[in-house]
Amino acid sequence: MQGKIALEEHFAIPETAADSLGYFPEAVRSEVAARNADIHGKRLALMDEHGIEMMLLSLNAPAVQAIPDKARAGEIARKANDYLAEEVQKRPARFQGLAALAMQDPDGATRELERCVSELGFRGALVNGFSQAGDADTVLYYDLPQYRPFWAMAERLDVPFYLHPRNPLPRDARIYDGHPWLLGPIWAFGQETAVHALRLMASGLFDVHPRLQIILGHLGENLPYGMWRVDNANAWIPNRNKWPAKRPLGEYFSANFHLTTSGNFRTQALMNAMLEIGADRIMFSTDWPFENIDHAANWFDNCAISENDRIKIGRTNARRLFKLGND
């Protein structure tokens, strides 16, 4: 398929370049670093080769979210956003931007989101999970009350928020002790992000801000397979589930969330997600530079879905959500 749009596609600045390397064996770290540093070279050539018209770019992980000092985190976020804006301006028909935000400072993140959208022309934000704030062991999840003004701004600006994974802190990762292979994209990323997304659903956030739109990668971090059970476990027990949200969580999942194919190039999983959330809420992505563009594109171009759904997922859903104009 020609004209695909991909939206979980990363880059790094020198201050964050090392953050991604620990997820990979030593033998490939130089390749990962080179991919992260490149925008207009090999990346663009691969886009041309595999029918990708546009990438929405975002900072690598965990980057800003792992900087406990909120002033420093804000500084790095602004530097990354200014750099990205300059790169986007070189080829705006091929690249657009998603803002990095220092969520350690909710007020500062709110101002930076508004700046990035209103002044830099960014299409939304991508944040790498929870933020460490003040010290390395203090974590903030975005269902907390202090983030309500931030979410109000996101709703007012009418831009989506991509909740990207990161590993749990070591103190919260004891289930993985002795099995480090389970960390990162193999398993821990998805579990951590799914819990964060469920916290947002259950908090009542979407009752207050019903137009908010959240994006999850990797075909939903396993949530499409589990949402029914979240709402219906032990259904014979009256009032078994208690949370502030006014509706079943699956309803928010269907109304306020979108999924991408980043790093999950499996037709059966895509079909499950389509049955659960609908083809109108799924978008193509590759997860470059951490996954291969050819793996993503070759699979997607040939997977057993209708051509109508392929066009929606590959292109038109993203154009609509990110206001990229009509074809």
**Mind telling me the catalytic residues?**
287
β pairing state of 131-132 and 139-140: antiparallel
- CA separation for the pair 323, 3 (Å, rounded): 16
- CA separation for the pair 57, 12 (Å, rounded): 10
The H or E element spanning position 11 is strand 4-11
The conformational region for residue 106 under phi > 0 = left, psi -120 to 50 = alpha, else beta, is alpha
Q: Which residues contact 273 (CB under 8 A, 6 or more apart)?
A: 219, 220, 224, 259, 282
193 to 73, 90, 155, 221, 274: CA distances (angstroms): 21, 33, 21, 7, 20
CA 121 to chain centre: 19
Which residue(s) pair with 250 in the sheet? Answer: none
Residue 119 phi, psi (nearest 5): -105, -40
Starting at the earlier edge strand, list the strands of the sheet with 95-97.
4-11, 52-59, 95-97
Contact 322, 125 (CB under 8 A): no
Contact 280, 315 (CB under 8 A): no
| Size of the chain in residues | 327
Contact 287, 9 (CB under 8 A): yes
- CA separation for the pair 189, 182 (Å, rounded): 9
